[in-house]
Structure 1
Amino acid sequence: MGHPSIDYGRYPDRGILCVDMKSFYASCAAIDRGLDPLTVPLAVVADMNRKGSVVLAATPAMKKKYGIRTGSRLFEIPSAPEIVIVSAQMRKYLEVSTQVTNLFHKFVPKEKIHTYSVDESFLEVGDNKGKFGVPEETAQMIVDELKETFHLDAAIGIGPNMLLSKLCLDLEAKKKGIARWTYDDFQEKLWPVAPLSEMWGIGPRLEHRLNRMGIWSVGQLAKFPLDRLEKTFGVMGNQLYYHANGIDLSDPGAPIIHGQVSYGKSQILLRDYQDPEEVKYVILEMCEEVARRARKKGHAGRTISLGIGYSKSEGSGGFHRSVSIEHPTSITMDIYHACLTLFHRFFNGGVVRRISVTLGNITEDANVQLDLFDDGRDKKRDLGYVMDEIRERYGQDMLLRAVSWTNAGTARHRSRLVGGHYAE
């Protein structure tokens, strides 16, 4: 059992599957060429015309035989006749990812699917025996269908919450294929973990600070006095303590899936963003895009969600939170201010690499009651539609906010890209 002072019976066992498609980009590229992704040494690079271009993915054979992996550079790839080097085709990978998500929907409702990245998703199947059996049986069926339908290999970590399912994936399932952690046995597998940066959510800088406090393993972190962690790290200290003890109350919270009534935008940034002000610039750009999509359909929404994913230098992790406002809106700044509220409340100061913004709880914009005491609000809504019309007629770059012309802005660059890389 975990920490003796924690009553694990109070916490839900959601039966979360963390599904990871192994070497996804590289596997898609290999399969598309009629090659076996498990045996061919293949690398996917961002730009074939730049010797310093980053390797986005590599097959297991490329990693094992040549030491080339994600993050390597094109010039590091040796010259060998059996090696296959391909340019990223992000549109193709996104199409396959969408098809995979549709496959997941055969096993769980759309609202129980959370797409963490192009190649990784969380599925909430419940802890008891359901339509497809216990979670392990459901996981095996998903692995089998991914292999049969897409020729993709997958690993699945199972846990009572998102954190433990992700840790189970990273620390055990990626070696075994399928593994499950419970509140009864997680400490045997998690607490010995060291260095601390091996744990999801702890990066090198945080690890160094914890080491200075005499904390070298996850078990030591789990048993460290909570009040001292909170005094040193604030809210982050509370999260560190409970995560080390296997507690995570994060709601998987479904992203935008075809057919779901909501509008969203997510992107993996082209570089690490260390300055919170720069992160806010990108959030504003994304709120603009989400509002535009809603207005295009004549919709407004009451629930705004913000997702922040931290860089690998921070140990990954992040948060996904939502807030509901009194009146439905399609106004960019309404959505942005709601996102700022969430950002200021949950942001831990880490380096950011992934951002998502969602507008949900949708209604018809025309049915939104006008505010008799705020004529400016109605003008802002109308202005949004006028700006959309100008962009539709003359191009998306015709009207951009000033932040889009800063080094932090991404809107100008994204207009030519898919998934942060050239589409074709």
Structure 2
Amino acid sequence: MSECQQITYDHIPNRQVACVDMMSFYASCMASLHNLDVCKVPVAVVGNLQQKGSVVLAASPAMKKQFRIKTGNRLYEIPKHPEIRLFEPKMAYFLEMSMAITRILHKYVPAESIHVYSVDESFIDLTGTEKLWGDPAQTVREIQREIYDTLSLPSTAGMGPNMLMAKLALDVEAKKTGFAKWTFADVPVKLWPVSPLSEMWGIGRRTEKSLNDMGIFSIGDLAHANLQSLEKKFGVMGNQLYHHAWGIDLSRVGAPVSGGQVSYGKSQILMRDYNTMAEVRVVMLEMCEDVAKRARDARKAGRTISLGIGYSKNVHGGGFQRSRTIAEATNETMKIYAVCKELLSENYDNRPVRQISLSITKLEDEQSIQLSLFEKDNWRSREIGQVMDSIRNRYGSTAILRAISLTDAGTAIKRSDLVGGHKG
């Protein structure tokens, strides 16, 4: 590691960007619906109250503090206590509340200055609104007050000269204080001490390990690393990591995403442990059907197929994520399923499974698919798939099912009336 050149911010855009995040959004929505104070009442939103192994989707601050129950716990881990309030999710209501938040943001900035990052988190660019609303930091606090007064949803907010700094101010400081504003001058004092590296927005566990292997353990280490070494190790991402460590982010709020969708995927936490490969294959086929249909609807096909398996906490968790690239792009259910079966057979160690995820990437336009002359009835299977899709699009996802969905292991029927994987 060598000492880097000191970066100056003279020519770096310095905007007024805020990241507004709803506090324990699902729990806050349910508390608001039932006239409860989410900051005082222990509230948990659970996927299905009839399933003891169902996942906690959200927990209020009081639930986390008093009972140490947080997102990811299971229903059976929640103690019996008269003050605890449990609710099943109402996904349609959550989406309605999310849209109500966005409508409030529209009162303060135009649509092109809003980026809805997730159902409960948005970026807004207040640059140039000073003549309308005054100090942007005070405007953000006013937005937080209006959201709370109108919807009874508490929030936290971070501000910075760009999206990255606003998000870091939120994650590192504002989630403890309610509001924080960072400037480039705060980078050495507030950003560089951040460790482990995965606490930094945009750095995952795998990247963290690679950086640790280079002797980089804090954001300050990253900022003073040799840029050429980072670029050699990570390519373009190495350059981005380096500049992010200095708080530099040139992306703009509201800028269109280039390139369109880069993958089609699905992930499912199972309602019970699946103990055999045969059971796992049932859900895997249903998921392949869903992913393939979405790709076909978009006239896309993929060459790389990925399968992820998460083992039950009862056997100490863990799992695997594997990918395989095939010679020709596909959006046929059974071809995707065949690759997933291979990946499962090669890597599954017979432990109980609790989560399955799969995706197709390296997408191409469907027109690029060449029908092999050596595959008998290849055209017929594609035509059958299109007919099945049209029936489902018109009459619903359960209008036509594979027989495996009628077995005990099938989940397609139970999940057909869910919104975002949960009850509407």
What is the CA–CA distance in structure 1 between the aligned matches of 2:246 and 2:54, rounded to whole Å? Answer: 41
How far apart in 1 are the matches of 2:291 and 2:12? 33
SS at match of 1:185: helix
Distance 1:134 1:267 in 2: 43
Give the match for residue 118 of structure 1. 119
Q: Indicate if the aligned counterparts of 1:115 and 1:254 stay in contact, CA closer than 8 A.
A: no
SS in 1 for 2:158: strand
Whole-Å Cα distance in 2 between the matches of residues 130 and 268 of structure 1? Answer: 46
Q: What does 1:22-171 correspond to in 2, within 5 Å?
A: 22-126=23-127, 129-171=130-172
Unmatched 5+ stretches in structure 1: 257-261, 273-278, 292-332, 334-351, 356-384, 401-409
Q: CA deviation at 1:58?
A: 0.6
SS of aligned partner of 1:148 = helix
Q: CA deviation at 1:183?
A: 1.7
CA deviations 1:181-239 (Å, max 9, x no partner) are: 11222221000111112111222232222122111110010110111011112222112
**Is 2:56–2:75's contact at 8 Å kept on the other side of the alignment?**
yes
After superposition, residues 1-400 of structure 1 pair within 5 angstroms as 5-126=6-127, 129-253=130-254, 269-270=267-268, 285-286=293-294, 390-391=391-392, 393-396=394-397
Distance 1:125 1:145 in 2: 16
User: Which amino acid in structure 1 is aligned with residue 69 of structure 2?
Assistant: I
Change (3 A) 1:227 1:135: same
- Aligned AA (2:114): I
Is the contact made by 2:265 and 2:358 (CA closer than 8 Å) also made in structure 1?
A: yes
Tell me the alpha carbon deviations over residues 373-393 of structure 1, each in whole angstroms, 9 at most, x when there is no partner. xxxxxxxxxxxx999875554
Q: 1-side partners of 2:248 and 2:221: how far apart? A: 16
Per-residue deviation, 1:354: 12
SS in 2 for 1:131: helix
Decide whether aligned partners of structure 1 residues 270 and 157 sit closer, same or farther in structure 2, where only a CA change above 3 A counts.
farther
User: Aligned Cα RMSD in Å?
Assistant: 3.9
For the 8 Å contact 2:109–2:129, the answer to whether it is kept is no
Query: Shift in Å at residue 141 of structure 1?
Result: 0.9
What's the offset of the Cα at 1:155?
0.7
Q: Structure 1 residues 197 and 73 mapped into 2: Cα distance closer, same or farther (>3 Å)?
A: same
Residue 130 of structure 1: how far off its partner (Å): 3.9
Q: How has the CA–CA distance of structure 1 residues 386 and 112 changed in structure 2, closer, same or farther, with 3 Å as cutoff?
A: farther
TM-score, normalised relative to structure 2: 0.66
Q: Which amino acid aligns with 2:160?
A: G
> What stretches of structure 1 move > 4 A for 4+ residues in a row?
265-269, 279-291, 352-355, 385-393, 396-400, 410-415
The DSSP-based 3-state class of the residue aligned with 2:115 is strand
2 CA distance for matches of 1:228 and 1:8? 23
Distance, in Å, in 2 between the alignment partners of 1:267 and 1:132 is 42
Distance 2:213 2:112 in 1: 42
**Equivalent position SS for 1:71:** coil
Q: CA deviation at 1:128?
A: 6.7
**Structure 1 214/288 Cα, relative in aligned 2: closer, same or farther at 3 Å?**
same
Q: Separation in 2 of the partners of 1:154 and 1:203?
A: 25
Across the two proteins, how many residue pairs are aligned to each other? Answer: 319
Q: 1:245 is matched by which residue type in structure 2?
A: W
Larger Cα-atom Rg: 2
Query: Whole-Å Cα distance in 2 between the matches of residues 266 and 58 of structure 1?
Result: 30
